[in-house]
Amino acid sequence: MPDNRNTDKPTEQQALDTEDWEIAFAPYKGDTSAALNMGFNLMVMKVYLSLDPPNLQEVLEGIEHAIEALYPYTQFHEICHDMYIKVVGGDLTLEEEEMLKKLGIKF
């Protein structure tokens, strides 16, 4: 069977519920322009997914851009970009996870 990033690494992440979104968007409180902009971006992704056939490449690229745009606002900005990508991708080894915990990084 050929390597497939989608099937070779099953996700351990749970679906995002309302509380997850409330936590993620809490920093937008008081910044109505940024919140509206995020709403526009999410709607564009929704439209791309609603097309027949869905425009998955545009959605995936949009998510990649979002992940990269978040990077400077994380604790990892001071440590290592590669480690940030591993954390958000769920690819940390146990040793790396322990090292980050010792450094006081919370995730």
Region 76-83 average pLDDT: 82
Q: Tell me which amino acid residue 4 is.
A: N
Other beta carbons less than 10 A from residue 10's beta carbon: 7
Least confident of 3-7, 27-31, 49-53, 90-94: 3-7
Region 14-23 average pLDDT: 86
Q: What is the rounded average pLDDT for all residues in the chain? A: 86
CA distance 41 to 93: 33
Is residue 66 scored above 80 in pLDDT? yes
CA distance 68 to 77: 11
Is residue 75 scored above 50 in pLDDT? yes
Contact 37, 28 (CB under 8 A): no
Residues contacting 86, CB < 8 A, separation 6+: 92, 96
